[in-house]
Structure 1
């Protein structure tokens, strides 16, 4: 999955663009917690965004 695909999914549901990659990561983390995406998809998304510099709010704690 590519970042522009993740942005498209985000925009379709949220009706706005993500301000940062961290916003995208937080959004997909919530989808995983809500069981809307599976662990394999979440790991792929997490790794992609993390490689691009995104950090999880959970990493700051």
Structure 2
């Protein structure tokens, strides 16, 4: 799976397009937690999304 396929899955699941890469990052994490994607796919997607500017929220 790549970011384009992830975006299509997001669109099919949520019925709207993601507003930014952070929203896709959250969706990726949920997919991994719910065992929809394996760890290797998760890591690949996170790397791709971070390269596009995705960031974890700052909780400090």
Corresponding position of 2:47 = 47
Corresponding position of 2:21 = 21
Unaligned runs of 5+ in 1: none
Q: Which runs of 4+ in 1 moved over 6 A?
A: none
- Whose helix fraction is larger, Structure 1's or Structure 2's? 1
Task: Give the number of equivalent residue pairs.
Answer: 59
Give the structure-1-normalised TM-score.
0.84
Give the structure-2-normalised TM-score.
0.86
Corresponding position of 1:56 = 56
1:29-44 equivalent positions in 2, closer than 5 A: 29-44=29-44
* Aligned CA-pair RMSD: 1.3
